[in-house]
Structure 1
Amino acid sequence: MVNKKARGAKQLQKDLTAVELEMMNVIWRIGPCLGGAGARAPAAAARAGVTRASPRWCAILEQKGYVTSEKEGRGHVYAAAVSKESYQALSLKRIVRNVFDGAPSLLVQRLLASEALAPEELRT
């Protein structure tokens, strides 16, 4: 399957909600998936009252540029349009810009101050 409408992380303007992020984590983990009645929603989606990966939720992700879709049978196959690594990089840039006054060193200082990291973790 070819992601015809794939977009780069720099073009994404809207953040993912917690439910959308959990749905994306499923897509990143298992790859392209069928949306519709047979698909199960992730736990966060179920907690929000969504019991299946509905076309509505997948359409929102597609509008935001995070997934692409292709018609297959009576449903659609949804695939990630953005890699998890690209989303991580974009998220970090937004956090640095919005929370740490654009200074990545402040983020690193806060992370080191608040997390107990083993010496071998610092070397990797």
Structure 2
Amino acid sequence: MMEKYQLTPVEHELMEIIWKLGQGTVRDVIACLHPTRHLAYTSVSTILRILQQKNILKAVKAGKQHIYQPLLSKETYAAHSVKNMVKQVFAGDSVNLVAYLVNKNDLSLDDIQAIQTLLESKKKELGK
């Protein structure tokens, strides 16, 4: 996939807000920031314009404001990010990623059952 899906931490933070809202102005995004997160109006505006230049957002003019709408879905970004991580961190082997997640996380019996259910469903989907 293309480099355009690379987001900085602050770009990702603002995209999470836009994905949640569906669309929003700079003020809408600021209103959704965590109360301890202080970003200036101009900073948020600049970051949203950068995301627009990356073709991750589009801006629709509404009076004196712009309403930002996602061009990149969260699902597409997640798929790209996970594929990229598997490629870079786990040498392209998804089994190594799953093994890492299972072995390095405190999973409850409910978590393990949910994972088994997902795997059984996938087996049926593949006809095995």
Closer, same or farther: CA 90–58 of 1 in aligned 2, 3 Å: same
- The alignment partner of 2:37 has SS state of helix
Give the partner amino acid of 1:120. Q
Matches within 5 A, 1:3-22: 10-22=1-13
Runs of 4+ in 1 over 6 A off after TM superposition: none
Is the Cα–Cα contact under 8 Å of residues 59 and 66 in structure 2 kept in the other structure?
Answer: yes
Counterpart selection for 1:51 from 40, 43, 52 = 40
Structure 2 CA distance, aligned partners of 1:119 and 1:109?
12
**Cα deviations across residues 58-106 of structure 1 (Å, max 9, x unaligned)?**
1111122211111111010001111111110000011011111111111
Q: Which runs of 5+ in 1 are unaligned?
A: 1-9
**Which residue of structure 2 lines up, in the alignment, with residue 119 of structure 1?**
112
Counterpart selection for 2:16 from 25, 36, 40 = 25
Bigger RCO (CA 8 Å, 6+ sep) = 1
Higher normalized helix content (fraction of residues)? 2
Is the Cα–Cα contact under 8 Å of residues 65 and 81 in structure 1 kept in the other structure?
Answer: yes
- Superposed CA RMSD in Å reads 2.3
Counterpart selection for 1:99 from 65, 70, 89 = 89
Percent identical pairs in the alignment equals 30
Is the Cα–Cα contact under 8 Å of residues 5 and 77 in structure 2 kept in the other structure?
Answer: no
Q: TM-score, normalised by structure 1?
A: 0.77
Q: Which runs of 5+ in 2 are unaligned?
A: 119-128
Post-superposition offset of 1:54: 3.1
Larger radius of gyration between Structure 1 and Structure 2: 2
Is the Cα–Cα contact under 8 Å of residues 57 and 69 in structure 2 kept in the other structure?
Answer: yes
Q: TM-score, normalised by structure 2?
A: 0.75
Closer, same or farther: CA 55–86 of 1 in aligned 2, 3 Å: same
Q: Does 1:79 align with 2:69?
A: yes
